[in-house]
Structure formats: structure tokens, C-alpha cells
Amino acid sequence: MAEKLRIGVFVCDCGTNIAGFVNVPEVCEYAKTLPDVVYVKENMYTCSNAGIQEIMDAIKEYKLNRVVVASCTPRTHEPLFRKACEDAGLNKFLFEFVNIRDQCSWVHQKEKEDATEKAKDLVRMGVAKARLLEPLEEIKIPVERKALVIGGGIAGITSALSLAKQGFEVYIVEKENKLGGLLNHVHSLYPSNIDANEFLNELLEKVKKEKKIHVFLESEVESVEGYIGNFNVKIKGKKKGEIKVGTIIVAIGAKPYEPMYMYNYDEYENVITQFELENLLKENKIGKWKKIVFIQCVGGRGERVRYCSRICCMNSIKNARLLKKLLPESQIYIIHKGLQTYGTVYEDYCRKAREEGIRFVRVRDAVPTVSSLEKKDGKLVVGFYHPGLRRKIELDADLVVLSTPLIQREDAKKISQMLKVPLGQDGFFFEAHVKLRPVDFATDGIYMAGSCRAPADINECIVQAVAAASRAAIPMAKGYVKAEPYTPVIDEEKCMGCGVCVEVCPYGAMRLVEKDGRKVAENVPAACKGCGACGSSCIHKAINMRHFKDEQIMAQIEEAIE
């Protein structure tokens, strides 16, 4: 037997914010006339301690089973009023918020009569929905206190160390036969010019000592099933395994772009890439170069990829300073389109480079960076247009170093599909929100760090890695996540198993499952955000969103157009 509705309506003055522009007593009187409304109260400030107490007392005294508050905005006050209901013993989802401030009194300050009528309409709509509200539960889903880190470069290692220090088991899965990623191919690190190997080995020592870190070398993640708190991961390779983890950090890094068929890179021996230079420095194979020219932005900033790779300016300056120290008589030029030596430390570093005799030459922001790179009488000649002097300049060189951007690795596509996480237009992983959630994926429980997100130097990789560890630690430390109550209700009779909802879901919270020989859609509450994309995309009308059901919204619309 359906319970008899007993709706309580609380209309707020909000001081003069509402009462100054809407006739609140009139709205209250009107609310009393609505069917199923058994209690109406006008409050000066519903959100004050007194106001909250009144709601709680009224629920108990008048046995209210639905509460409508007509006041300011749910953005700030919904949690407050919901908690009041909960504390009084009423399921907090049996509460409906009507905004008669931002959406009424504040925008109709000169039309008191019309504003009052609109407020009445809004209250009537709110009550119509409240009649159809159902109690919802927020289920707690347990979270495994283990993390998977895909990629064993500087970001991966740092994330793992941070997580281990915070008390969580961590599995690092690394494709190569050793940890370190690109760090293994770099000679030294700016701004302190510390030896990269030394730096890496210090970290590897820490990893070795950390019992909570388990490393899978020469291995890859084969498949990932599940959702936050409960990812089932299959690892293949030299070390196989199946593990269950609560969170995943993607740290696969990036790789340097090979400038094939550009700037005569393939033709001339003395035209090398930055990473090839790093290698020569590592192996101590420095030639007796007298004139060295670095060319920046080779392939970047619109040439082959659209973005700026951030680290190459500083990298070139670091290597230039090193070479100048090793070859004091040499003349070193860095040809750039706009030096990216930002911040305090890097600007300082660049000034020191100038003092040491490194010359910087600016060219226009056009593609290619230089107009010619040819051999003349056995010497390399770099030709470019100097915009300041408005003429073509030619520089001799016996070594030309091409700075190419970092680009996303091929495995990124595979990982993107496997984890159902997006890649951006630039090929790098796409974060939940550029500003406020930069190391989170939109899918809960999966995070990113390092150059797989965007080219990053060591300092940035490390800070991102610790940040990702911090984010991953939240659900693992808490031990549970609350499942979203606004999940879709799927009518399995109507569902045709077309899979559109699975495609459309940004959070990987919908999947197709086998039931009685046919495919039907199923929701994963732990990953769901209640956005309703599935509901609005289902052409078979098989999906109804809890708390925003079709019938609830239709009831409001009908009241509105009455």
C-alpha cells in the first residue's frame, strides 16, 4: 500500500533577498492549497540554526515524508538541508530544493507581482516532483588498498614510492628490462646539472628497499576490468600475474620525435637530435666541435605536432652550457622561436648561460625554424631569416642539434581503450578538468602523471607523480567509495543491447552484459556520476535516471505550463 504523502514546504525570506522582492506570505498561503501539503512555514533564514531546527522538529511532529525548501541555491545549501532531513530520520533524497532567489527574486527585482506568481509556480513544480521522489541509498563500495602504476619511469617510480610511504601496496608494470624510462637516456638534469644516472640510482635504491613496491619488468598490462576500488588487472610478459587493485596511475611517459626527412637529419652525420647528444655526453664521445648550433622547435609548434614541448628550450640550454664547459673555445648558438625559460629558476639559468657565452638567436614563429641546412665546402651551413636585422643570416656549424618535441607513445592508444580513458587532440591523455583536476581522469580511480599527460621535465614529473599518488590515496585511505545514488534504472525488457549508452558514457560506468542469452546494459554505480547522458541517448526509452526520472520531470513541466 502506498504511503500517504505528507509534504512540508518551508519558504524562506532570506532576509530581504527574497522577501524584498517576492510576497512570501502570499506564496506560503498558496502552498497550503496544494494537494498533499500538510505543513507550510515561512522562515526569515531557513539556513540558520533556528531554521534547521524547525525543519527537524516539523518532520518529527507532523510526520512529514517529503520536504520542500523554497529558498536560495542548492549549490551552497542542498547538503545542509539534506543533512537536516537525514538527522530527523527522513531519507535525504526525499528532499526537493526550489530556487526562488537566484532564479526568481534576484532577477525580477522590479516586478514584485510577477515575481510572486513565478515563485508560486516554482513551488508548485517543486511539490509536483516531491510527490514522485523515491528514497535512495548511497552504497559504500569497499576499495582495495593496492595500486597499479603503469610505467616505471621517473613519474611511475615517484608515485610508487609516495604510495608505499603512505602505506599502500604498489605494483609497477614496466615494458623495458629496467626502471627509469627516458631518464636512462639522459645525461644530466637541469637546473642543478646533477648526473641523471646518479639521480636515478638513488631512487632505485629506495625502490629496492621498499617492501610494499612490487616491480614487473619486461611486462605489460593485458587487460583491466572493473571500477574504482575493484580493478582486476591481468599482466603478461616476463612476469605474469593477476592482481586486484583499488586505483591505477598511468605513467607511461612519452618518447622523442624522430625528425625523419627533416632538416637533412638522415643525410648528414653531424646533424643529430637532442637525445643523441645526451647519449654522446653519457658515453663521453664529445667531438672537437668548434661551432655548435641548436635548432629549437623541430617538428613542434605546428610543424608536425601542434603543441610546444615545454622542456626543449631548457634542455638545449643545459646541454649548451655543458658543451661550453667541455669545449671552452667553441661558439654555441641556440636558434629559437621564443625561449620558454619561465619562472624564477629557469630565467636565472638562462642568464647564466648568456654570461657563459651561449648566444641566443630569435627567428620568426614560422615553419620550418630555419630556411636551410646544407653542406658547403664540407661545413654545415644553417641559413635563416633574422627578423630583427631583416636579412638572411648564415651560420657555420660542425655540429647541429635538433630539438624535437616529446610525443605520445604508441601504447597510449592501447591503454586508452583498455582503461576507457580519453586521449586529447594532441595525442596526450585528457584530464578530468584542466585547471582543477589535472592529474585525474574523468573515470574515478584512474590518475595520470608525467609526460604521458603533456611533456614535462623532472621537477614537474615528480610533483605530478606525488600529486597523483595523493589523489589515488584518497579512496584507498578511506577504504570505501560512496556509489552515486543518481544511477540509471534499466528496463531490461526494453533494452535492445545496442550499446549506445556504453559509448556515450564519459566515465566508463555502463557496460553490456549477457543475460538470458541476450546483451543488456548494466550500470556500474561506483563509476557512475549520474550525468544522465545514457538516459538521454537511449532511443528505446529503456533508461530512467533515479531522482530525475522522466515522470518526475514531466510532472514539473506539466505544472509549469498549466
Partner 1 sequence: MKDVLIIGGGVAGIQAALDLADRGIHVYLVEKEPSIGGRMALLDKTMSTNDCSICILAPKMNECFSHPNVDVLEYSEVIGLEGRAGDFKVKVKRKAKYVDATKCTGCGDCMEKCPTEVPNEYNSYLDKRKAIFLPFPQAVPRKATIDDRYCLKLTKNRCGLCEKICKAGAIDYNQKDQIIELNVAAIIVAVGLSLYEPRDLYEYGYGKYDNVHTWMEYERLINAAGPTHGHLKCSPDGRRPKKIAFIQCVGSRDVKRCPWCSSVCCMVSIKSAMLANEHYNDLESYIFYSDLRVFSKRFYEYSKRGERDYKITYIHARPGEIKEDKRTKNLIIYYEDEKEGKVKELEVEMVILATPIMPAKDTKKIANVLGIETDEHGFIKTVDFLKYPVETTKPGIFVAGCCERPKDITESVIQASAAAAKAAELAG
Partner 2 sequence: MLEGIIEKSKAYYCVECRKCSSICPITRIYGKFSPASIVERSLIGIEEEVLNSMDIWKCLGCGLCEEVCPSGVEFLHFMREVRNGARKQGNEGIPTHEGVFESIPKLMLEKNIDMDWLDNVETDEKSDIIYFAGCLPFFDIMFKEIGFDGKCIAESTVKLLNKYGVKPSIIYGCCGHDALWNGNVELFNELMNKNMQMLKERKAKKIIFSCPECYRTFKMDYPSMDVELMHISEFLADKDMKGGEAGKEYTFHDSCRLGRHLGIYEEPRNVLKKVGIKVKEMEHNKELAVCCGTSAWMSCDWKSEEIRKERLKEAKKVADVMITSCPKCQIHFKCTLSHENYGIEVKDFVEVVAEMIK
- Residues found near partner 2 in the complex (CB under 8 A): 331, 339, 351, 354-355, 357, 359-362, 386, 388-389, 393, 395
167 binds, among partner 1, partner 2, none (CB under 5 to 8 A by kind): partner 1
Question: Taking CA 158 as the corner, what is the angle to CA 153 and CA 160, rounded to the nearest 5 degrees?
Answer: 95
What DSSP element (H or E) covers 201? helix 196-209
Residue 188's alpha-carbon distances to 198, 200, 279, 282, in angstroms, are: 9, 11, 10, 9
The one segment of 53-61, 162-170, 216-224, 548-556 that binds partner 1 by CB under 8 A: 162-170
Among 184, 197, 459, 544, binds partner 1 (CB under 8 A): 459
Q: How far is the CB of 393 from partner 2 (least distance, A)?
A: 6
The one segment of 254-262, 282-290, 432-440, 501-509 that binds partner 1 by CB under 8 A: 432-440
208 binds, among partner 1, partner 2, none (CB under 5 to 8 A by kind): none
The one segment of 23-31, 232-240, 341-349, 483-491 that binds partner 1 by CB under 8 A: 341-349
Q: How far is the CB of 479 from partner 1 (least distance, A)?
A: 9
Take residue 216 and report the three cell numbers written for it: 614487473
357 binds, among partner 1, partner 2, none (CB under 5 to 8 A by kind): partner 2
The one segment of 96-104, 265-273, 275-283, 335-343 that binds partner 1 by CB under 8 A: 335-343
Per DSSP (E only), the strands in 351-487 are 359-362, 372-376, 379-386, 391-397, 399-402, 406-408, 446-448, 480-482
Question: For residues 22 and 101, what is the distance between their CA atoms, to the nearest angstrom?
Answer: 9
- Residues contacting 436, CB < 8 A, separation 6+: none
Question: For residues 215 and 160, what is the distance between their CA atoms, to the nearest angstrom?
Answer: 10
Question: For residues 339 and 10, what is the distance between their CA atoms, to the nearest angstrom?
Answer: 61
477 binds, among partner 2, partner 1, none (CB under 5 to 8 A by kind): partner 1
Q: How far is the CB of 183 from partner 1 (least distance, A)?
A: 11
Residue 270 makes contact with partner 1 by CB under 8 A: no
Long-range contacts of 43-46 (CB under 8 A, 24+ apart): 43/10, 43/11, 43/12, 43/13, 44/12, 44/13, 44/15, 44/19, 45/12, 45/13, 45/14, 45/15, 46/10, 46/12, 46/14, 46/71, 46/81
Q: How far is the CB of 416 from partner 1 (least distance, A)?
A: 17
Question: For residues 35 and 562, what is the distance between their CA atoms, to the nearest angstrom?
Answer: 15
Contact present, 332 and 325 (Cβ < 8 Å): no
48 binds, among partner 2, partner 1, none (CB under 5 to 8 A by kind): partner 1
For partner 2, the closer CB: 255 or 359: 359
139 binds, among partner 1, partner 2, none (CB under 5 to 8 A by kind): none
Buried b (16+ CB within 10 A) or exposed e, 328-366: eebbbbbbbbebbbeeeebeebbeebeeeebebbebeee
Residue 379 makes contact with partner 1 by CB under 8 A: no
Alpha-carbon 285 to chain mean position: 42
Q: How far is the CB of 343 from partner 1 (least distance, A)?
A: 5
Q: How far is the CB of 485 from partner 1 (least distance, A)?
A: 17
For partner 2, the closer CB: 137 or 347: 347
Residue 219's alpha-carbon distances to 50, 225, 253, 294, 328, in angstroms, are: 62, 18, 16, 37, 45
Q: How far is the CB of 296 from partner 2 (least distance, A)?
A: 15
Q: 527: which DSSP letter?
A: T
Residue 184 makes contact with partner 1 by CB under 8 A: no
Q: What 3-state DSSP class applies to 119?
A: helix
Q: How far is the CB of 351 from partner 2 (least distance, A)?
A: 7
Among 329, 344, 355, 377, binds partner 1 (CB under 8 A): 344
Q: How far is the CB of 322 from partner 2 (least distance, A)?
A: 18
The site string for partner 1 over 288-327 (x = CB under 8 A, - otherwise) reads: -------------xx---xxx-x-----------------
For partner 2, the closer CB: 244 or 325: 325
For partner 1, the closer CB: 96 or 431: 431
Q: How far is the CB of 453 from partner 1 (least distance, A)?
A: 7
Question: For residues 512 and 429, what is the distance between their CA atoms, to the nearest angstrom?
Answer: 25
Question: For residues 108 and 359, what is the distance between their CA atoms, to the nearest angstrom?
Answer: 64
Contact present, 220 and 174 (Cβ < 8 Å): no
Residue 369's alpha-carbon distances to 179, 296, 337, 374, 514, in angstroms, are: 35, 7, 7, 14, 56
Q: How far is the CB of 362 from partner 2 (least distance, A)?
A: 6
354 binds, among partner 2, partner 1, none (CB under 5 to 8 A by kind): partner 2
Residue 241 makes contact with partner 1 by CB under 8 A: no
Question: For residues 268 and 245, what is the distance between their CA atoms, to the nearest angstrom?
Answer: 50
For partner 1, the closer CB: 271 or 305: 305
Among 343, 377, 410, 561, binds partner 1 (CB under 8 A): 343
What DSSP element (H or E) covers 39? strand 37-43
Among 25, 79, 287, 499, binds partner 1 (CB under 8 A): 79
Q: What 3-state DSSP class applies to 142?
A: strand
Secondary structure (H, E, C), 530-541: CCCHHHHHCCCC
Residue 489 makes contact with partner 1 by CB under 8 A: no
For partner 1, the closer CB: 50 or 513: 50
Question: For residues 20 and 539, what is the distance between their CA atoms, to the nearest angstrom?
Answer: 46
228 binds, among partner 2, partner 1, none (CB under 5 to 8 A by kind): none
49 binds, among partner 1, partner 2, none (CB under 5 to 8 A by kind): partner 1
